[in-house]
Amino acid sequence: MLRGESYADDLSAHDVIYIMKNKVDIWPRLYRDLAKCEQDQVDRFTFNKDKARYTVSHWFMRRILADHLGCTGSELVFSQGSYGKPYLGGQSGLFFNLSHCDECSVLIVSRYGEVGVDVESPHRMSVSEIDGLKQAVLTQAERERLDRLPVEQQAECFIRFWTLKEAYLKQKGWGLYYELDKLSFSLDGPIGVEVAGKPDCDINLGSIAAQGHLVSWATHNYADPLIRRLNLPVWGENCA
C-alpha cells in the first residue's frame, strides 16, 4: 500500500464522504493490492476501462478504511449481506459504502450506522431516454416536478432522484430489489422520502455536485457529513 499521510478523519461527530478523481492509467500498479476475489472480478471484465475503474475504486476504498482502522488494506476482510451489500467482518464498528462512475469514486464512512452513497453523471442520459424510464423509476409527484422544469434542467433533476433512490436502497441494504417508483423524494427544502406512502424520518439525505457528477447519500447521522476531495495521482507517485 502507500506510504505517508493518513486519510482517516474524526468520525465522532460526522460521517465523511471521500470523493476522488481516478487516475485510471496506474491501475496495473494497484491491482496487486486487491484481494483475490477482487482480482478475479477485474479479470472477468472485457474492457480495460472497466478493469481500471473497478481496480482504482476498490483500492481507494481499502486505503481509506485501513487508515480508519489502523491496519493495512490487505488485512481487511469483507463479507456480504443477503442482497450483496459488502461489510467489514469482525467488530470494526465501521460502516461504509462505495460508488463509482466514469473516473469519479465516492466512499462514505460512518460509525453511526448503515450508510449508502451513489454517484452518476448528470449527462449520462438524454431527454428521450429519461422519458422512457421515468414511468418506471419516478412516482407521480416526482414526474410532475420533473415535467415542470425546462428541458435543459430535466436530466440533472432525474439523475438527482435516481442517485437518491440508489443511495437510500444501499443504506437499507435492499439493493435494487425494491421498486424505485415506491420511493418518493421531495427536493424542496430538506430532502425527504416516503416509502410506499409512509415518511421515513430516521434518515439524513443529501446531494451535491462534485467533479462534474452528482453525489447523493443516506445516513443515520443528522450532522452534515464532511466532504473530502482527494487526488489519486498524488498517491500514485508514492506507490511501493
φ/ψ (deg, to 5) at 205 = -115, 145
Nearest to residue 98, comparing CAs of 178, 191, 22, 202? 22
In a structure prediction context, what are the per-residue pLDDT tens digits for the chain, which is 240 residues long? 344 456 677 788 899 999 998 777 888 989 998 989 899 999 999 999 999 999 999 999 998 999 999 888 888 988 888 777 889 977 678 999 999 998 899 999 999 999 999 999 998 888 899 999 999 999 999 999 999 999 999 999 999 999 999 999 999 988 777 888 889 999 988 899 999 889 999 999 999 999 899 999 999 988 889 999 987 644 443 333
pTM across the whole model: 0.91
Q: Where are the beta strands (DSSP E) in the chain?
A: 16-21, 78-80, 86-88, 95-101, 104-110, 116-120, 183-186, 192-195, 198-199, 204-210, 213-219, 226-231
Question: What pLDDT, on a 0 to 100 scale, did the predictor assign at position 80?
Answer: 84
The pLDDT value recorded for residue 189 is 85
Strands 16-21 and 226-231 turn out to be parallel
Query: What domains does the chain contain, in order, with CATH numbers?
Result: 16-114+223-234 (3.90.470.20), 120-219 (3.90.470.20)
pLDDT of 31: 93
Q: Given this model, what pLDDT does residue 85 score? A: 85
Q: Contact, 183 vs 165, CB < 8 A?
A: yes
In this structure, what C-alpha cell is assigned to residue 205? 439525505
**Helix, strand, coil percentages for the chain (3-state, nearest 5):** 40, 25, 35
The pLDDT, as a whole number, for residue 3 is 43
Residue 81: its pLDDT value, please? 80
Residues near 32 by beta carbon (within 8 Å), at least 6 away in sequence: none
Is the separation of the CB atoms in 86 and 116 below 8 Å? no
